A and B are shown apart, each in its own frame.
Chain A
Amino acid sequence: MAKPRKEVKQLTAKNKATGDGVIHNKVNQAGELTVGVIGNPNSGKTTLFNSYTGTRLKVANWPGVTVEKKQGAFKYHNHVYKLVDLPGIYSLTPYSIEEKISRQFILSDDVDVIVDIADASNLERSLYLTLQLIEIGKPVVLALNMMDIVEERGMEIDLHRLHEVLGIPVIPVSARKKTGLDVLMHVVSHHQEIKSKSNHVVVYSDLIEDKITKVTERLREDNPDIYNPRFYAIKLLENDTEIMENCPVDVSGIVDKSYETEIINQKYDFIERLVEEVLLNIQEKAQFTDKLDSVLTHRIWGIPIFFGIMGLVFFLTFTLGDGIKGILEGWLESLSIWTAGGLSTLNAGPILTSLIADGIIAGVGTILTFLPNIAILFLALAFLEDSGYMARVTYVMNGVMNKIGLSGRAFIPMLLGFGCTVPAIMATRTLENERDRRKTILITPFMSCSAKIPVYVLLSGMFFGNYATLAALSMYIIGLVAGLFTAFVATKIENKADQLKASDVKPEVNQLLIELPEYKSPNVYSVLLYVWENVKAYLSKAGTIIFLACVVLWFILSFGTTGYVEDMSQSFGAIIGRFLVPILEPAGLGFWQIGVSLIAGLAAKEVVVSSMGIMFGIINIDSALGLSAMHQTLGAMGFGALNAYSMMIFVLFYTPCVAALAITAQELKSAKWTTFVFMFQLVFAWLASVLVYQIVSLFI
């Protein structure tokens, strides 16, 4: 998956940081070296990983962006390094799903060297994990990231003393500015030889040290070739359930209670003294963040400001995007004229001409004109994510989210859902509670994803004139309210079920607990990268799934039981669509064309728009000419503004695309729940659109 980075220039610096003066050449024979990149959340692991491997994994400024283990290989001095990027963790005792992944991998035999990325501007907290990693007994290299920020603040870190006390190499790096990266890999390649001689950095109180010694002896008796008894002894004293299961040793008489708190406190004691010694010129910092927070997380203005920001995001998406869209429409127009001319001079048959002009250009081309809207949306989302505001939203929205039985933390997936449902559902891994995850996965598709934008733009532009933007924006509000309401009802049902099972269980709301990173001005490179990656995904979707869906659609709409048909109402598509007419009738969507386009929308939501382009034989349906032509056709069918709004509602709620469905199945790990989610969204969409259509029909 990763392209090898071009060979780094020859290093002149010797292996100073390990301090032992021995140059190891074993790596020559070893060949591949697996390096696990670990550290606190939001400390820059993925940025570092990207720098080495040339990959473009997503980075942003909130804790929990990476929820999956990602591997990449690169060559350095003729050796292959397998780098593994892991989700961030605060300690080796996991809390949520993505953290379990990290711990399992770090403790496995697959890792040759651990690179611990510490946020140097936040040394005290970062070193807590470092101490735990050293205790594992594997080779650890400490990479002090964000050294540029430390220097900007005028602070200094005594790297030599830090190395001396910890007994591991300490390398200053800046993943963003790509400094220190060569030295880091150089040290890694040499350091793999050193089986940490000194996993004994923290000396605990006499009481605990005695117990560690006793447990270690018992471990050795039972298990003579145990890799690192001290680590296991400490974990057993902490009553770590996983270790206790995997390492069954009788510790009765020694471990009379959990010594976890004592062990944590003594580690922090050690760190406090260490930091006092190595960190010089400590500055009162982050006044900027405090000032900004006093506005953005204000107890009263916090929520209005958030909705104001989101309103602005979508307003820009719809209005600003439309301007640029005009240019693309012009290009599409000339392309279709040029193609039609080209095809006739080539004497292409009518079927081929139809496939290209009516199928591909009408279907795929239309989708491409929405690119500006999509790009602007992702640009805005990238700003939110990279500035540090994302994590604040969980705090601001916590009150609302608690009322519906979720923690404010669940709002991050929902917010990501405005971009794309697939990564949003992945992001639910940071929720530690299984029920919270399920509820969040259920409601995240209600947040209108970027693929629904073409549908909203098309339908609202056609029927709502000056109020088009308003009609489109209303979809976001309706989706959010419906999502919150659904979670509220689900929580009520869960609580009822709990009470039936045991009367003494009282409903427990998961409490908010999240680190708020400091604000920073968004990094131009990572913002543009984020936008580009999403635009690229959109383009490749247009070239693959949407293209394929258009070809299939063209086929079923051009052929019927009698072969190639001129009249679409005789085609296979019409036959299929007519099955749905009675079901969609109460929602004002009882037209076979609508039925077909809604089915096609399961492949990807944009296909709803493509299919209408194909069905109504209009090359570019969102050009002014195309719009009015289609408006007339639809109007003649009896499809008016209310029908259009009802269709927007249906598209908003109904089952997301196949990709989202696949990720739902993967994350829920249950066929039963996946089927439920699928059915629920379908039924919900139908009920909502019927409700809107029927109620509004009463008044007009």
Chain B
Amino acid sequence: MRKDNMMTLKSVGNGKAYIVEKSLLKQPVKRRLEAMGLIEGTMIHKINEALDGSIICIVKGTRLAIGKELAERIFVRPMSASDIRHRRHRKRCRGMGPRDGSGRGSGMNRKRGGVGQAKKRGEAIDSEK
């Protein structure tokens, strides 16, 4: 499964955080995983692997048990320094728009395609390098 830098959720070791790069799953299971929060660019902690190859990981604060064949099709990459920086940066900047208190979500919706909306997260990381 290992190809250049590409690692799968199955092949990596326990205990470290990774970023989901890509999943080569078919519908409807891909959709299901996405609804559970496992989307591209999200941080994932693998915490356990069973003898049969199924794994337990934490995504967005939730523990998921995932079968071996699914885990083999989810590609991850290690957290880079820029990912960590990016996360901190995010926190400082608070991309939500002004707290103008004018009611019903307007603060967030005023600008169409505000920070991070037009850009995918991957691109944002690149631009920081």
CB of A274 closer than 8 Å to a CB of B: yes
Interface size on A, residues (CB 8 A): 66
B35 touches which of A128, A209, A511, A517 (Cβ 8 Å): A128
B103 touches A402 (CB 8 A): no
Q: Which residues of B contact A395 (CB under 8 A)?
A: 50, 54, 56, 65
Report the separation of the CA atoms of residues A261 and B42 in the bound assembly, to the nearest whole angstrom: 13
Q: Which of A122-159 contact B (CB under 8 A)?
A: 122, 124-125, 128-129
**Closest Cβ–Cβ distance, residue B32 to chain A (whole Å):** 5
Q: Which residues of A contact B99 (CB under 8 A)?
A: 161
CB of B62 closer than 8 Å to a CB of A: yes
B104 touches A164 (CB 8 A): yes
Given A198-B104, A206-B118, A293-B56 contact (CB < 8 Å): yes
CB of A669 closer than 8 Å to a CB of B: no
CB of A90 closer than 8 Å to a CB of B: yes
A513 touches B109 (CB 8 A): no
Q: Which residues of B contact A515 (CB under 8 A)?
A: 36, 62-65
**Closest Cβ–Cβ distance, residue B41 to chain A (whole Å):** 7
B31 touches A91 (CB 8 A): yes
A185-193, A297-305, A350-358, A573-581 - the one binding chain B: A297-305
CB of A387 closer than 8 Å to a CB of B: no
B61 touches which of A91, A124, A399 (Cβ 8 Å): A124
A513 touches B33 (CB 8 A): yes
Given A125-B60, A125-B62, A164-B105, A90-B47 contact (CB < 8 Å): no
**Closest Cβ–Cβ distance, residue B126 to chain A (whole Å):** 16
Q: What secondary structure prevails in chain A residues at the interface with B? A: helix
Residue in chain B with minimal CB distance to A275: B60
A201 touches B105 (CB 8 A): yes
A511 touches B69 (CB 8 A): yes
Report the separation of the CA atoms of residues A203 and B76 in the bound assembly, to the nearest whole angstrom: 28
Q: What secondary structure prevails in chain B residues at the interface with A? A: loop
CB of B51 closer than 8 Å to a CB of A: yes
B65 touches A513 (CB 8 A): yes
B32 touches A164 (CB 8 A): no
Q: Which residues of A contact B35 (CB under 8 A)?
A: 90-91, 93, 128-129, 264
**Closest Cβ–Cβ distance, residue A686 to chain B (whole Å):** 35
Q: Which residues of B contact A269 (CB under 8 A)?
A: 116-117, 121
Report the separation of the CA atoms of residues A167 and B103 in the bound assembly, to the nearest whole angstrom: 7
**Closest Cβ–Cβ distance, residue B8 to chain A (whole Å):** 14
CB of B96 closer than 8 Å to a CB of A: yes
**Closest Cβ–Cβ distance, residue B27 to chain A (whole Å):** 8
A277 touches B94 (CB 8 A): yes
CB of B21 closer than 8 Å to a CB of A: no
A516 touches B63 (CB 8 A): yes
CB of A165 closer than 8 Å to a CB of B: yes
Interface string of B88-107 (1 = CB under 8 A from A): 00110011100101011101
Interface string of A264-295 (1 = CB under 8 A from B): 11101110011011000000010001100110
Known: A200-B109, A293-B63. 17 other contacts (CB 8 A): A164-B103, A164-B107, A167-B105, A206-B112, A261-B40, A264-B39, A265-B120, A273-B108, A300-B51, A395-B56, A396-B50, A398-B65, A399-B52, A511-B67, A512-B65, A513-B29, A513-B33
Q: What 7 A-B pairs come out closest when comparing CB atoms?
A: A399-B52, A511-B67, A91-B35, A512-B67, A167-B104, A516-B63, A90-B35
- Could you list 20 A-B pairs, sorted by A, with CB under 8 Å? A121-B61, A124-B60, A125-B62, A164-B104, A164-B107, A200-B105, A203-B109, A203-B113, A206-B118, A273-B90, A273-B115, A276-B90, A276-B91, A285-B61, A395-B56, A408-B65, A515-B63, A515-B65, A516-B64, A517-B63
Residues of A within 8 A of B (CB): 19, 90-91, 93, 95, 121-122, 124-125, 128-129, 161, 164-167, 197-198, 200-201, 203-206, 209, 260-261, 264-266, 268-270, 273-274, 276-277, 285, 289-290, 293-294, 297, 299-300, 302, 391-392, 394-396, 398-399, 402, 407-408, 432, 509, 511-518
